[in-house]
C-alpha cells in the first residue's frame, strides 16, 4: 500500500510539473510575440521615415534640375567623364 501511495503522489507531482511547464511555455510564447511585434513596429516606422526622406530628396533634386537645367547637364556630363576615366584605368 505504501508503494501505491508513493506512486500516486509521484503521479500528482508529475501532473503539476507538466502544468507548470505548459504555463511557462505559454508565458514565453506571449513574451516573444510581444517583443516581435514591438520590433516590427520599430522597423516599420524606420522604413516609413526613410521613404519620406527619399521622397523629399527626390523632390529637391527635381526642383534643382528644373531651376538649373544647363548646370545639371554639364554636371552630369563631367561626372560621366570622371566615372569613365576611373573605370578605364582599372582595365
> Tens-of-pLDDT digits for all 91 residues of the chain?
677 888 788 889 888 999 999 999 999 888 888 888 888 899 999 999 999 999 999 999 888 888 888 888 888 899 999 999 998 866 5
First to last CA, the chain: 92
Half-sphere exposure of 39 (CA within 13 A, CB side): 6
Q: How many angstroms separate the CA atoms of 5 and 19, rounded?
A: 21
pTM above 0.75? no
- Cell numbers at 27, concatenated: 508565458
User: Distance of CA 22 to CAs 29, 38, 54, Å?
Assistant: 11, 24, 48
Amino acid at each position: 500500500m505504501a508503494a501505491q501511495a508513493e506512486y500516486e503522489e509521484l503521479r500528482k507531482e508529475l501532473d503539476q510539473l507538466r502544468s507548470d511547464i505548459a504555463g511557462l511555455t505559454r508565458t514565453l510564447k506571449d513574451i516573444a510575440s510581444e517583443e516581435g511585434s514591438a520590433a516590427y513596429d520599430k522597423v516599420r516606422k524606420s522604413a516609413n521615415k526613410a521613404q519620406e526622406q527619399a521622397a523629399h530628396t527626390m523632390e529637391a533634386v527635381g526642383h534643382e534640375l528644373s531651376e538649373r537645367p544647363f548646370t545639371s547637364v554639364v554636371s552630369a556630363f563631367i561626372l560621366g567623364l570622371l566615372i569613365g576615366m576611373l573605370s578605364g584605368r582599372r582595365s
